Amino acid sequence: MTQKSGPVLNSRANSGQMFAAEENVDFRIHVENQTRARDDVSRKQLRLYQLYSRTSGKHIQVLGRRISAKGEDGDKYAQLLVETDTFGSQVRIKGKETDFYLCMNRKGKLVGKPDGTSKECVFIEKVLENNYTALMSAKYSGWYVGFTKKGRPRKGPKTRENQQDVHFMKRYPKGQVEIQKPFKYTTVTKRTKRIRPTNPS
């Protein structure tokens, strides 16, 4: 019995080392690569909503080749058709009224284009800790869709994820009945009560 226990203990030790090595693997790079990859297998989803700008207090408008964040709730130019993949959080955003896509060119300028097949018209959707959404260019990493308080587009190189200029909230157009439940969000505040364990008597 003593002779057999040696190899068994060694195998257990080796397996323990393997598990420890696996725990140290950094999966962030894998997740980032998967997020950037287009998913051509899964079914595409098309949704209609508005993007409310945290800084301007208005909604993104696709006015043909010109982009702004000055749209009132229910404005026809603020109604956006958003195509998403089932996996990957990548979106293409098109103005319902103009059929122009929201894109970011190589200078970091937001422009409208009639053809949205270019990677300049693909954005990675990020839901932030404050429950706002940020849209990062899939082609130009680190460049975000952003607007000033006056609703003017900011250039990509001047944007950062933590800036209020790049924070948006998804809203249904005024008067539209909510159909798709995945767009319901629960607001979590810092005052959320924590359950404390009771002291044993």
Task: Determine whether 132 is exposed, middle or buried from the number of CB atoms within 10 Å of its CB (0-12, 13-18, 19+).
Answer: middle
Q: Does residue 166 share a domain with residue 92?
A: yes
DSSP 196: P
Q: Which two three-digit tokens encode residue 127?
A: 């839901």
Q: Does residue 89 share a domain with residue 29?
A: no
The 10s digit of each residue's pLDDT in 83-120 is 987 666 899 999 999 999 999 999 999 999 999 999 99
CB 152 within 8 A of CB 58: no
Q: Does residue 146 share a domain with residue 56?
A: yes
Higher-confidence residue of 82 and 6: namely 82
Q: Does residue 122 share a domain with residue 79?
A: yes
| Domain coverage including residue 164 | 42-178
Higher-confidence residue of 3 and 156: namely 156
Q: Are strands 110-113 and 80-84 parallel, antiparallel or unpaired?
A: unpaired
Q: Does residue 154 share a domain with residue 65?
A: yes
The 10s digit of each residue's pLDDT in 151-189 is 999 999 999 999 999 999 999 887 665 444 444 433 444
Model-level pTM?
0.68
- Into how many domains does the chain fold? 2
Confidence label for 45 from pLDDT (cuts 50, 70 and 90): confident
Closest of 21, 2, 40 to residue 117, by C-alpha: 40
Give Cβ neighbours of residue 192 (< 8 Å, ≥ 6 apart).
Answer: none
pLDDT of 174: 75
Domain for residue 194, yes or no?
no
Give the whole-angstrom CA distance, residue 36 versus residue 182: 22
Give the whole-angstrom CA distance, residue 176 versus residue 63: 21
